[in-house]
Amino acid sequence: MLISPHIMYWQYFYRSSSFGLNSSASKVLVCAKDAVLSSGAAWKASTTGGIGGGPISQEGSARFLQTSTASANEEAIRTSILMDKKIVPEAKPPSDKDIDLFYQFLNKSTRLMVLTGAGISTECGIPDYRSPKGAYSSGFQPITHQDFLRSIRTRRRYWARSYAGWKRFVSTQPNAAHFALATLEKTGKISCMVTQNVDQLHHRAGSNPLELHGTVYTASCLDCGSTYSRQLIQEQVKALNPKWTAAIERMDYYNPRADESFGMRQKPTPDVKIDEKFWEEDFNVPACPKCDGMLKPDVVFFGDNIPKDRATKAMEAAKTCDAFLVCGSSLMTMSAYRLVRFAHEAGAAIAIVNIGMTRADDIVPLKIEARLGEAFCRFYLRSLRSGLPPSLHPSDIQLEVL
């Protein structure tokens, strides 16, 4: 089933941090005349087929899309994407052939499964792990499950660094790729979305993904099982370490030079690299308010197992989809790579949009090495060529960079 072009009008698809933390070109709006919007809405009302063959979700279209189409200079999109060069991997723009194949791949699917990794969030200012500019390139050592349980020093390291990085981490906003996937999900095109990320940017864009590795937005007691919001934990850390947190909060989180001055560097989680002398001795770790037990963020640390029900749900979706799209993941963890293998063995079409090598390169016929935000913008513009709704003309619509 072809993707109906009437949803290809993005009123608001990028926010400031999508282009980089210090971008002056903070928004990209696709603006149309009032007549275009009214005629587009009328055309939508008479159309039964959305992307997934059903009506457009009112919530999805109201929040992220307008019912219309756009014609624009595709280069304007690229020149407006002023990304943080310290975080976003270098990549050439996707070719016309890449976008045509991407369009055809999504068009043909009826039960699309999507897996997203850290690469989808680099355009929001959150680094990935394995790219040349990723966390591992700076010597980052991830915390393991066993180390967290056994070592008070490891728990001090985690909660201290996580507190320091939390303010910047939660200030990030979804980018064009997050919004595009949310729209595809709401219109029924995506049957299952799984993310390896713990940043909840998909949720902010309007999606409801299966969080394979959990989330940093809650923490649970390993003794009594009580669960708490991360904001409550932040407040507890502040109360337990008033002088330490006061020093942290005086730092300029949004000044890149502050990173250099204090030895801080953002990671794919709220964790930031910070001088050990700043936390190793006197820092008090948070504890369960009910039983004083050990608190652990609700994430799957390295060396831990994904909860069985979560893994089973993802596996069943992979085995029953007819197309599997990987967005921004190297698939180096077995939990992610296994899903691609399940889909491949079941006969599903596979496509990858990722900068750099992946573990599944040898079994995937379509791989696009491009930034995801740019790839999805180009995809939507490519969709316009399939037709325009009645009474619309390309001259009615323009792209503006504000």
Q: Which residues are catalytic?
A: 213
Query: Would the annotation count 221 as a binding residue?
Result: yes
Query: Would the annotation count 7 as a binding residue?
Result: no
DSSP string, 253-293: TT-HHHHHHHT-EE-SSS-EE--GGGTTTTPPPPB-TTT--
Query: Would the annotation count 197 as a binding residue?
Result: yes
The position carrying tokens 């204090």 is 262
Report how far residue 223's alpha carbon sits from residue 289's, in angstroms, rounded to the nearest whole number.
12
Stated length of the chain: 402
Helices (H), 109-187: 145-150, 152-171, 176-186
Query: Would the annotation count 329 as a binding residue?
Result: yes
Which stretches of 79-226 are assigned E, i.e. beta strand?
A: 112-116, 190-195, 210-211, 214-221
Which residue type sits at 255? Answer: N
Q: In what order do the strands lie in the sheet with 227-229?
A: 227-229, 214-221, 295-299
The position carrying tokens 């770790």 is 285
Query: Would the annotation count 49 as a binding residue?
Result: no
Q: In what order do the strands lie in the sheet with 190-195?
A: 210-211, 190-195, 112-116, 323-327, 349-353, 366-368
Query: Would the annotation count 124 as a binding residue?
Result: no
Query: Would the annotation count 128 as a binding residue?
Result: no
CB 274 within 8 A of CB 263: yes
Sign of the four-CA dihedral 169, 355, 117, 303 = negative
Query: Would the annotation count 321 as a binding residue?
Result: no
Distances, alpha carbon 150 to alpha carbons 144, 275, 289, 294, in Å = 10, 22, 21, 11
Backbone angles phi, psi at 35, to 5 degrees: -65, -35
Query: Would the annotation count 354 as a binding residue?
Result: yes
Query: Would the annotation count 107 as a binding residue?
Result: no
Query: Would the annotation count 199 as a binding residue?
Result: yes
Cβ-Cβ contacts under 8 Å for 187 (sequence gap 6 or more) = 7, 50, 51, 52, 54, 56, 57, 60
Query: Would the annotation count 73 as a binding residue?
Result: no
Query: Would the annotation count 328 as a binding residue?
Result: yes
Binding-site residues for Zn(2+), in ranges, read: 221, 224, 288, 291
Which residues does the annotation place in the binding site? 196-199, 221, 224, 288, 291, 328-330, 354-356, 372
Which residue ranges are tagged as binding site for NAD(+)? 196-199, 328-330, 354-356, 372
